């Protein structure tokens, strides 16, 4: 997962940094190039149709030579076996694939070579070496200022929310005119570069799993934050294209999640009628740095979902809960030992990492222990941090974020002119909704149980839904 480069790292210097050996060519180069050209041209035409349909414009004509191109493209496209869904979250990266040969099988998350279903959204630069994911995240604790995280949220135009986010990041971000600079290992990099590096790693993960060389183009659907404008959407797509993906459509994250929920409902014959009812569907997404609540409705003609209204906040997030847990642990240690660990960077990182793990464990347990030996020392010797965290402690810490979440939901319904009784379903997504307390508070407010099936995973709904949507688009065209 690490590659060496001379001077400034580039995408090409880190491509192929997975351990899989290169595959031998199985088809003549000429035929492969011809098929790729026709298939890619067809995908681009399908992409244009998707964008025109999104804009409410009529589709392009299919007469003359264009119709012949479509027939040839459709034939080439039909030979493709997989379509990808790509989710570049603020905390984690995921990629999924959906078979074009068997629509009955649900999309699947592609695991990394390390067996991870999600890769930390982190990239680090250390003396010219670039690392991504777990290694980059671990470097954050040993070498401050070498690792960039949450770079997706830094793409596009300046906003008040982005300025607030920058204050929370554990590395230096500078404004240079209309652009931002990330300082890593004392050198400037752009958010686009960092995000592209992470996406390139994701591309290599998909290629290794599917048995294809990374330079081959995969038709892919990119999940983007709800309500993303066309300019920012184009910026996301450009970065993904540069990383090797053939992005032929972008989809709003809550829309993608509903495609995943719909697939689960159909397969398990549960809750399908709620998602297809006439009333709006509420989707609450608790993300790593930003949470979003959206209203969507089923489109009768296309069978898809359209976004009606959406609101976001940084007052509710996994990062915020981690910070609150961190403070409670640090305050208790200071009461017991008279030492403030928050001023010790290495100790702070170890505690933040531990409380994040504890938070995840508490989604399925009533208690867990944080045990960090040799966390610090004084004149009397080494000090060890031992702290028990219960589900009750986590619920108490989440009371403030839960109130913020409910306030956001009230604003959404008020702005949209929709009552809770008008809703047909509630879908909760993102890792944060695995907290029983947060889930209960949202269900209590909306006065209904959240969508749930055996195979529905809230944290993977977006990436799986993007792949499912991509499969529908390819089969449609």
Is residue 62, in this structure, part of any structural domain at all?
no
Q: Can you give the pLDDT at residue 267?
A: 80
Q: Can you give the pLDDT at residue 303?
A: 75
C-alpha torsion 467→472→476→477, nearest 10: 0
Residue 11 sits in a domain whose CATH number is: 3.30.420.40
State the burial class of residue 277 (Cβ atoms within 10 Å of its Cβ: 0-12, 13-18, 19+): middle
pLDDT band of residue 22 (cuts 50, 70, 90) is very low
Q: Which domain holds residue 205?
A: 2-25+81-251+465-476
Residue 24: is its pLDDT beyond 70?
no
Stretch among 5-9, 82-86, 247-251, 258-262 having the lowest mean pLDDT: 5-9
Contacts of 335 (CB under 8 A, 6+ apart): none
Stretch among 93-97, 110-114, 318-322 having the lowest mean pLDDT: 110-114
Provide mean pLDDT across the span 255-264: 94
Are 103 and 211 within one domain? yes
- Choose between 141 and 4: higher pLDDT: 141
Residue given tokens 């379509």 in the structure block: 83
Are 246 and 367 within one domain? no
> What average pLDDT is seen over the chain?
83
Query: Looking at 304-356, which runs of residues are DSSP E strands?
Result: 305-313
C-beta separation of 98 from 85 below 8 A? yes
Is residue 371, in this structure, part of any structural domain at all?
yes
Residue 329: is its pLDDT beyond 90?
yes
Is residue 321, in this structure, part of any structural domain at all?
yes
Is residue 257, in this structure, part of any structural domain at all?
no
Are 392 and 307 within one domain? yes
- In three-state secondary structure terms, 69 is helix
Are 185 and 326 within one domain? no
Are 142 and 12 within one domain? yes
Is residue 423, in this structure, part of any structural domain at all?
yes
Q: Can you give the pLDDT at residue 269?
A: 67
pLDDT band of residue 270 (cuts 50, 70, 90) is low
How does DSSP classify residue 341? Answer: G
Are 379 and 446 within one domain? yes
Residue 38: is its pLDDT beyond 70?
no
Residue 2: is its pLDDT beyond 70?
no
pLDDT band of residue 318 (cuts 50, 70, 90) is very high
Are 232 and 323 within one domain? no
C-beta separation of 212 from 23 below 8 A? yes
- In three-state secondary structure terms, 168 is helix
Are 245 and 355 within one domain? no
Sign of the Cα pseudo-torsion (152, 50, 118, 266, in order): positive
37-to-34, 41, 52, 116, 227 alpha-carbon distances in Å = 5, 6, 23, 33, 32
Q: How far apart are CA 161 and CA 314, in angstroms?
A: 8
Q: Can you give the pLDDT at residue 407?
A: 98
Are 407 and 301 within one domain? yes
Q: How far apart are CA 448 and CA 435, in angstroms?
A: 17
- In three-state secondary structure terms, 183 is strand
Contacts of 252 (CB under 8 A, 6+ apart): 223, 224, 225, 226, 227, 228, 294, 307, 310
The predicted-structure confidence for 58-79, as pLDDT tens digits, reads as follows 444 444 444 444 554 444 454 5
Residue 475: is its pLDDT beyond 90?
no
Is residue 256, in this structure, part of any structural domain at all?
no
Provide mean pLDDT across the span 146-160: 87
The predicted-structure confidence for 157-201, as pLDDT tens digits, reads as follows 677 788 888 888 989 999 888 789 999 999 999 999 999 999 999
Residue given tokens 């938070």 in the structure block: 359
Q: How far apart are CA 461 and CA 87, in angstroms?
A: 10
pLDDT band of residue 285 (cuts 50, 70, 90) is very high
Provide mean pLDDT across the span 96-124: 92
Residue 276: is its pLDDT beyond 80?
no
Are 199 and 319 within one domain? no
Are 235 and 319 within one domain? no
Residue 301 sits in a domain whose CATH number is: 3.90.640.10
Number of domains in the chain: 2
Provide mean pLDDT across the span 374-401: 95
Is residue 60, in this structure, part of any structural domain at all?
no
Q: Can you give the pLDDT at residue 176?
A: 84
Residue 16: is its pLDDT beyond 70?
no
Are 10 and 147 within one domain? yes
Residue 357: is its pLDDT beyond 90?
yes
Q: Can you give the pLDDT at residue 441?
A: 97
Residue 280: is its pLDDT beyond 60?
yes
């Amino acid at each position: 997962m690490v590659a060496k480069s001379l001077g400034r790292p580039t995408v090409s210097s880190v491509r192929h940094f997975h351990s899989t050996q290169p595959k031998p060519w199985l088809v003549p180069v000429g035929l492969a190039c011809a098929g790729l050209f026709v298939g890619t041209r067809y995908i681009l035409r399908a992409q244009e149709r998707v964008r025109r349909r999104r804009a409410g414009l009529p589709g392009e004509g299919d007469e003359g030579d264009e119709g012949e191109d479509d027939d040839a493209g459709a034939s080439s496209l039909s030979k493709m076996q997989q379509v990808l869904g790509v989710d570049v979250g603020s905390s984690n990266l995921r990629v999924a694939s959906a078979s074009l040969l068997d629509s009955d099988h649900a999309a699947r998350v592609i695991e990394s070579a390390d067996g991870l279903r999600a890769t930390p959204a982190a990239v680090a630069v250390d003396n010219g070496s670039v690392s991504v994911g777990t290694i980059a995240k671990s470097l954050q604790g040993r070498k401050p200022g070498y690792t960039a995280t949450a770079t997706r949220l830094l793409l596009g135009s300046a906003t008040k929310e982005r300025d607030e986010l920058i204050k929370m990041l554990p590395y230096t971000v500078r404004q240079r005119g209309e652009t931002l600079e990330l300082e890593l290992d004392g050198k400037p990099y752009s958010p686009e570069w960092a995000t592209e590096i992470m996406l390139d790693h994701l591309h290599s993960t998909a290629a290794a799993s599917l048995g294809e060389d990374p330079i081959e183009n995969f038709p892919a659907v990119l999940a983007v934050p709800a309500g993303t404008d066309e300019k920012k959407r184009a910026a996301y797509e450009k970065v993904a294209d540069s990383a090797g993906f053939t992005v032929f459509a972008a989809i709003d994250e809550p829309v993608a999640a509903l495609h995943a929920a719909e697939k689960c409902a159909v397969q398990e014959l549960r809750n399908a009628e709620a998602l297809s009812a006439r009333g709006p569907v509420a989707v609450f997404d608790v993300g790593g740095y930003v949470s979003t609540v959206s209203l969507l409705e089923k489109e009768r003609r296309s069978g898809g979902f359209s976004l009606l209204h959406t609101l976001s906040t940084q007052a509710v997030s996994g990062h915020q809960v981690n910070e609150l847990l961190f403070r409670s642990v640090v305050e208790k240690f200071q009461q017991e030992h008279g030492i403030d660990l928050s001023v010790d960077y290495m100790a702070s990182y170890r505690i933040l990492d531990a409380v994040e793990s504890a938070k995840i464990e508490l989604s399925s347990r009533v208690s867990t222990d944080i045990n960090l030996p040799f966390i610090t020392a004084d004149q009397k010797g080494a000090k060890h941090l031992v702290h028990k965290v219960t589900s009750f402690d986590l619920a108490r810490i989440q009371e403030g974020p839960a109130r913020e979440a409910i306030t956001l939901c009230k604003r959404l319904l008020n702005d949209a002119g929709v009552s809770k009784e008008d809703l047909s379903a509630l879908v909760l997504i993102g890792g944060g909704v695995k907290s029983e307390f947060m889930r209960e508070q949202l269900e209590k407010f909306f006065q209904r149980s959240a969508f749930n099936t055996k195979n529905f995973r809230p944290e993977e709904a977006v990436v799986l839904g993007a792949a499912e949507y991509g499969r529908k688009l390819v089969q449609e065209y």
